[in-house]
Amino acid sequence: MKNKYIIIDTETTGFHPYDGDELLQVSIIDTDGNVLFDEYFKPQHRTEWKEAEQVNGISPEMVADRPAISEKISEINAIIENSDTIIGYNTQFDIGFLKANGAIVPDDLETVDVMEDFAKIYGEWNSARGSYKWQKLTRAAEYYGYDWSQRAETAHNSLGDCYATLFVYDKINTDTMVIERVIDGKRVGIELTPAEISQAYYIKENDDRRQDILNALDEMDSLKIGNIDISNDFLKKSTTFINDVIYRYEKMDDHLEDYNMAIEDVLDNADKNYANKLVSHYAQNMSAADKEQYIESAEMAMDWNDTNEPAISRLEYMLYTTLITERDYDKIKQDCLKVPQNNTGEYIDKMIKTMRTEAKAYFIEGIDENRKNGVEISELDNIIYKKLIDERRTEHTREVSSENYKIYQLKDGEKYHGIRFEPYHMIEAIGINLNKTDYDLVYEGKISEIKGNSVDEKLENIYSKFNRYETMPEAFMGHSLSISDVVEIGDTAYYVDDIGFKKLSPFLDNHEQNEVLDMTGQNRGLGR
């Protein structure tokens, strides 16, 4: 059967196939991840390639007994001939080396360069070349959260790079966002991928549409987030921003004649990563006085609102929470520095009392995220985190009901290091039994309030509810729902796994289990 798409990657001794550099490895997979070809080659002329070896890890000894590329090129040609499209990362580099070694790549064969697509999405402009700056595959993989450890092949192994390229390609072409706008009294939603934006609207500097936007930015006196002026200069230099405006202007409403409205629409509907970049930029460039003025104006806007929704835009609210968290925590740190070390705890307690609910929630979420990513947490951060979690727990009162669902999270303490945030198969592999004695009950709510007809649907909706600040109940005492947490519905407990939920049997009550954690292998219970 013909392969519509194949992914190709190579490792070489250098950059110049027609100036003596040779192939060391060629890998080809299909879009299902099936390996079509993977082989190392012995160069016929080069005896060493020290600079390339430092990158790809392929030594002369590793390929001393491997075949010459000439012995395998017919197999590669057969795969290419049976394909419609070649996908790669810097595709022409790989094709150039293959052609130099006898590969037949028809001129009309479609090619996709994921590197070029990602460069437009990443949006780093190279003014000297007048184009987007190319980014390494490792950066593209990191951008979309690719886990290199899931396979034996690492970065700069051609097979490993094939898998990473396929992952990024899929993310670019399948991750969608829905842009909504009211047009002629109707709400219109358009689903698009990053590739659709970047490929369709790669705008050159001399394009009239780009100039229209630049002129509109110059004319705008009220381009703001709240009371804080947005830097027109910053936006004018953002190719991603300008392309996004053009897309929405032309795609969403053919009758829209005001670029100002398109610009504001971009800001209101920016995806999370883009919005975070904007907010971070504004926060970093605001003076202390501007920050305080912004916080005051945002709080006034929310106080005036008669509904439960903030009377400010999503971006405004993101900036507000960023600034309030920064202010509150900076105040804690500065006050702690002013007092003897043995009195620091008293000042932390005092400052925590002054922290806004939003700041507390965002601080807890930030520490949780750092822990998941293996970021070292300072002693002061750990103290504040524990006190905030304890505060949530002591303030919470629960009504017990047979109709309730329960959320449990592992207790604090070193004995749970290596267990917290680990998927179930890792826990199972070391023979640990999870019991209620090891968990704190952090929330209890009515299952009837959770949408869904099946248990699976309710579990997914619980996960979503407790991973968004705006939907978390005020009485929730824990961190955002994460791997290693347990959700109990009725008499059944479910472990929050890396993918979905794992049904636990048994998950005993506290009085039913008193085993002691023993990481030596003698007893694998997690009781106290």
Map out the domains of the chain as residue ranges: 1-174, 177-273, 298-392, 398-512
Cβ atoms of residues 23 and 16 within 8 Å? no
Residue 30, strand partner residues: 6
Burial (CB < 10 A; 0-12, 13-18, 19+), residue 70, is exposed
Task: State which amino acid sits at residue 415.
Answer: K
Q: Reply yes or no: is the peptide bond before residue 60 cis, omega within 30 of 0.
A: no
pLDDT at site 324: 80
What local confidence, expressed as pLDDT, does residue 225 receive? Answer: 47
Q: In what order do the strands lie in the sheet with 35-40?
A: 35-40, 23-30, 3-12, 83-88, 110-113
Does residue 348 carry a pLDDT above 60? yes
Can you tell me the mean pLDDT for 406-420?
Answer: 80
Token representation of residue 463:
């996960």
**Token couple for 137:** 């595959």
Over residues 157-178, the mean pLDDT reads: 85
For 5, phi and psi rounded to 5 degrees? -130, 140
Over residues 272-282, the mean pLDDT reads 67
Q: Which residues contact 390 (CB under 8 A, 6 or more apart)?
A: none
d(CA 263, CA 243): 11
Query: Over the stretch 502-511, which tens digit does the pLDDT of each residue have?
Result: 888 677 554 3
Confidence (pLDDT) at 516:
31
The 10 Å Cβ neighbour count of residue 33 is 12
Contacts of residue 466, Cβ cutoff 8 Å, sequence gap at least 6: 407, 443, 472, 476, 480, 481
Q: Do 260 and 224 form a contact (C-beta atoms < 8 A)?
A: no
49 vs 23, 54, 98, 476, 511, CA distance in Å?
A: 11, 9, 19, 58, 65
Residue 307: the pLDDT is 46
The two three-digit tokens of residue 511, written as one number: 């009085």
102-124 per-position pLDDT tens digit: 999 998 889 999 998 888 777 67
pLDDT score for 469: 60
**pLDDT at 379 (0 to 100):** 80
- Identify the burial level of 454 via C-beta atoms within 10 angstroms of its C-beta, where 0-12 means exposed, 13-18 middle and 19 or more buried: exposed
* Amino acid found at 413: G
**Which amino acid belongs to residue 421?**
F
Q: Are 201 and 192 in contact (CB under 8 A)?
A: no
Cα 326-328-332 angle, rounded to 5 deg: 110
Residues 25 and 13: their CA atoms lie apart, in Å, by 10
pTM: 0.42
Q: What are phi and psi of 288, to 5 degrees?
A: -60, -40
**Which is it for strands 110-113 and 186-192: parallel, antiparallel or unpaired?**
unpaired
- b vs e for 167-183, b when ≥16 Cβ sit within 10 Å of the residue's Cβ? bbbebbbeeeeebebee
Per mean pLDDT, which of 85-99, 266-280, 476-490 is the most reliable?
85-99
**Position 172 confidence tier, pLDDT thresholds 50, 70, 90:** confident
Residues 6+ apart with CB under 8 A from 431: 521, 524
CB 290 within 8 A of CB 228: yes
| % of the chain beyond a pLDDT of 90 | 21
> Among positive and negative, which fits the CA dihedral 248, 252, 253, 254?
positive
Listed in sequence order, the DSSP H helices in 72-202 are 73-81, 91-100, 114-122, 137-143, 158-174, 194-200
The encoded tokens of residue 253 equal 């409403």
For residue 409, what are the CA distances in angstroms to 207, 393, 404, 439, 484? 55, 12, 17, 5, 7
Question: Can you identify the CATH homologous superfamily of domain 1-174?
Answer: Ribonuclease H-like superfamily/Ribonuclease H (3.30.420.10)
Task: Report the C-alpha gap between 428 and 49 in whole angstroms.
Answer: 45
Q: Is 417 helix (H, G, I), strand (E, B) or coil?
A: coil
- The mean per-residue pLDDT over the stretch 415-439 comes to 77
Q: Dihedrals φ, ψ of 86, to 5°?
A: -105, 125
Alpha-carbon span 66 to 31, nearest angstrom:
27
Pairwise CA distance, residues 413 & 180, whole Å: 46
Measured between its terminal Cα atoms, the distance across the chain in Å is 59
Beta-carbon contacts of residue 289 (< 8 Å; ≥ 6 apart): none
Tell me: pLDDT of 391 over 80.
no
What pLDDT sits at residue 231?
Answer: 66
What stretch of H or E contains 391? helix 379-395
Give yes or no for residue 427 having a pLDDT over 70: yes
Average pLDDT, the chain: 75
Cα four-point dihedral sign 202, 204, 205, 211 = negative
Output 365 or 487, whichever has higher pLDDT.
487
